[in-house]
Amino acid sequence: MFNPGLIHFIEENGGEVNTTPYSNYLKMISNPYVRKRLIEGHYLSAFSSQALLSTLKLKKIIYYRYFERILKEPMPECDESAEDILSQYDVRIENTGESMDNLLKIYYIKQHYPDVSLFVQASPAFCCPALITEAMAREIEQTTGTPVVSITYDGTGGNKNDLILPYLKYPRGCLRKDHPNFYGNLRRRRLRMDR
* Residue-level pLDDT at 146: 93
Q: Of 109, 90, 110, 113, whose CA–CA distance to 100 is shortest? A: 90
Predicted TM-score (pTM) of this structure: 0.78
Consecutive 10-residue averages of pLDDT for the chain (195 residues): 82 90 86 88 90 85 85 84 92 86 94 92 84 91 93 80 88 56 46 41
Q: DSSP characters for 68-83?
A: HHHH-SPPPP--S-HH
Residue ranges per domain, the chain? 1-16+116-195, 19-112
Distance of CA 155 to the CA centre of its chain: 24
Per the rule left: phi > 0, alpha: psi between -120 and 50, beta: everything else, 110 is alpha
* Residue-level pLDDT at 183: 47
DSSP tag of 77:
P
* Residue-level pLDDT at 119: 94
